[in-house]
Amino acid sequence: MKAFPSYRVISIWLAATLLLAGAVTTRSAYVPQDGKKPIVFKRPSGYMPAPLSGHIGQMFLDPKRPAGIFVGYPKDGQDMNAFADEMKSMVVKMFLHGTQNTTWTSAALPSHKWSESESGTLMTTANDKMEVQLAFYSRPEGVAYGYFAMRHKKAKDDDAEFLNAKGSGVKALDEVSKSIVTN
């Protein structure tokens, strides 16, 4: 019986360890350098990670639908209102190409039952073909998170799910919201 060379054993062990670690690791941790508390949260199932440019945190994009989730701190020197405005601008650029001077409507969202100290706003805008929604929640410790989505005015198969007026209807957002911890 021929023995495996040691490099093969090590390679197989390393591959198995990495696969197991990838299967078990479902939480993300983002540690700011400026004295803010680290953010730990569960990654939304089925979403792809993407950078949350200039922020401590992460964005996740739905690979099948025009939607995403974000969790993060505002940029240094940026307040929550400016962070929300930045997210609105990003969503318009992503989904309403070439649209100028968008008008947003806003409504207060109730806090999630597992985080009664947060505040939320549900914002929508549209052009002649599409509607866009942005839910923006902020917590007292300075962390913001939310959901954004696009759908066509004439429904299509790839339209994203929109949250209802109570901020529910998207399971992945609920999962992330429940899991956010700042230590």
DSSP labels, 92-103: HHHHSTT--S--
Give pLDDT tens digits for 63-90.
999 999 999 999 988 999 999 999 999 9
Among candidate residues 183, 182, 179, the one with its CA nearest the CA of residue 45: 179
Cβ–Cβ < 8 Å for 55, 74: yes
Q: β-pairing, 39-42 with 27-30?
A: antiparallel
Q: Is the dihedral of CA 136, 137, 140, 141 positive or negative?
A: negative
Q: Structure pTM?
A: 0.80
Residue 62 or 54, more confident: 62
Instruction: Report CA-CA distances (Å) from 94 to 70, 103, 179.
Output: 14, 16, 27
Q: What is the mean pLDDT of the chain?
A: 82
Give pLDDT tens digits for 98-125.
777 889 999 999 888 877 788 999 999 9
Tokens linked to 132: 């866009």
The answer, yes or no, to whether residue 6 has pLDDT greater than 80, is no
Instruction: Report CA-CA distances (Å) from 52 to 59, 74, 128, 156.
Output: 5, 10, 28, 28
Among candidate residues 50, 25, 28, 49, the one with its CA nearest the CA of residue 39: 28
